[in-house]
Amino acid sequence: MSDLPADLPSSAPRHGPATMQDVADAAGVSRVTVSKFFNGGASLKPATRERIEAACRTLQYSPDPHAVSLVKGRSNLIGVVLPVISEPYFAAVLQTLEQEAATQGLQLLIQSSANDPAREAAALLALKAMKVAGIIITVVDSMQNAALLDSLAREMRIVHFDTYLTPACHHVLNDNHQSIRLLVEHCLARGRKPAYLGAPHIAFPSRPERLESYLDALRAAGLPPCVVPVAEEEHTWRFEAYAHKYVGQWLAEGSWREAQIGALVCATDRLALGAMRAMREHGLEPGRDLLVCGHDDLSFSEYLHPALTTARQDVARLGRAAIECLSLPDDYFNARRPYFERRLPAELVIRESA
């Protein structure tokens, strides 16, 4: 049976997708009224809105978001640009962003930069052409697109998620100093001096901030730091292979024994995964011979052997904060509060690896 109220006129048989005029005819209103409905017309009577909604359900009609954006000059679309989409952390971020955006009546357009400045620029320009309401971006660690980002920020709101080029921007980040300090202090409380394995050169400011936090914590404890040597110029998202390679070289070199290292703090859970394989290949049992800590609490972390001690980022709150920034009115910002700035603490999750 039709979902239309009984007093609505029946429409003639259609060929092809329904149009806005079909909705107007079925609801017994003008096309202008239907257009006003889709553009958020608050002046429409409840009965009129009900008739239009019923007609849309029956005709299975939804407006072309690009056409709506042309009329309004801005859409309900939010652009999201991430370096990788398959990475477990960013998959969790996307899920949170989609859920939160839906509560605000927003939809996401997702682009991947593949950690390439040229692809990042192309993604940003494509989103600009689609007149998105704003952009959430995890930027590539390169200044190549700094001028483009500055230009776009004068046209729309851009929220930097997990990374930024400079702190003078809207940003939502994990509190990297707090989270690494949690892990280092936990190892020290267990009577184990930790070494540190940083991430490849792909993310700013998390990479230098996490290293700085490790160094500060060791100095505060009166201990010399021990950082696993890596090739500084290496840019890769293959974290497991990266950790396996450099931790294996470090263990083979042997200086960690002389330094009385009893634990390894890794900048991400994926690094910890590669590090634990390298340990086993050198006859060491993770969680016994060397404690191991990761960072992020990815979905696989509790199912490793041993289950991974880690710092859990509050991805849900981070995602909500990013959408909140895009939803704030322009007059929220002023000379004393030019930017939306959120750094959220992590939670220590203790498991068998430490």
We report the CATH number of the domain holding residue 52 as: 1.10.260.40
Same domain flag for 198 and 309: yes
pLDDT band at 7 (very low <50, low <70, confident <90, very high): low
Same domain flag for 199 and 152: no
Please check whether residue 211 lies inside any domain of the structure: yes
Give the tens place of pLDDT for each residue, 287-325: 999 999 999 999 999 999 999 999 999 999 999 999 999
pLDDT score at 12: 47
Residue matched to tokens 């930069």 = 113
Same domain flag for 55 and 78: no
Nearest Cα to Cα of residue 264 among 241, 278, 314 = 278
What span, in angstroms and rounded, lies between the C-alpha atoms of 63 and 77? 13
Same domain flag for 304 and 181: yes
Same domain flag for 292 and 185: yes
∠ CA 124-125-127, nearest 5°, is: 65
Same domain flag for 82 and 164: yes
Please check whether residue 134 lies inside any domain of the structure: yes
pLDDT score at 15: 60
Give the tens place of pLDDT for each residue, 143-201: 999 999 999 999 999 999 999 999 999 999 999 999 999 999 999 999 999 999 999 98
Over 70: is that where the pLDDT of 4 sits? no
Give the tens place of pLDDT for each residue, 45-93: 888 988 998 998 888 887 766 665 555 555 789 999 999 988 899 999 9
What span, in angstroms and rounded, lies between the C-alpha atoms of 164 and 236? 18
Same domain flag for 309 and 322: no
Q: Which domain holds residue 52?
A: 20-63
Give me the residues paired with residue 310 across strands: 349
DSSP 60-74: T----HHHHHHHHSS
Same domain flag for 273 and 193: yes
Same domain flag for 59 and 80: no
Same domain flag for 292 and 329: no
Over 70: is that where the pLDDT of 11 sits? no
Name the average pLDDT for the chain.
91
What span, in angstroms and rounded, lies between the C-alpha atoms of 137 and 150? 13
Helix (H) or strand (E) holding 332: none
- Domain count along the chain: 3
Q: How many CB atoms lie within 10 A of CB 68?
A: 18
Report the range out of 22-31, 38-47, 56-65, 250-259 with the highest average pLDDT. 250-259
Same domain flag for 300 and 191: yes
What span, in angstroms and rounded, lies between the C-alpha atoms of 168 and 191? 40
Domain end: 63, 82, 114, which one? Answer: 63
Give the tens place of pLDDT for each residue, 209-244: 999 999 999 999 999 999 999 998 888 999 999 999
What span, in angstroms and rounded, lies between the C-alpha atoms of 57 and 174? 42
Domain end: 63, 88, 115, which one? Answer: 63
Same domain flag for 249 and 148: no
DSSP 86-127: SSHHHHHHHHHHHHHHHHTT-EEEEEE-TT-HHHHHHHHHHH
We report the CATH number of the domain holding residue 307 as: 3.40.50.2300
Domain end: 28, 63, 98, which one? Answer: 63
Please check whether residue 210 lies inside any domain of the structure: yes
Residue matched to tokens 């068998």 = 352
Please check whether residue 77 lies inside any domain of the structure: yes
What span, in angstroms and rounded, lies between the C-alpha atoms of 29 and 34? 7
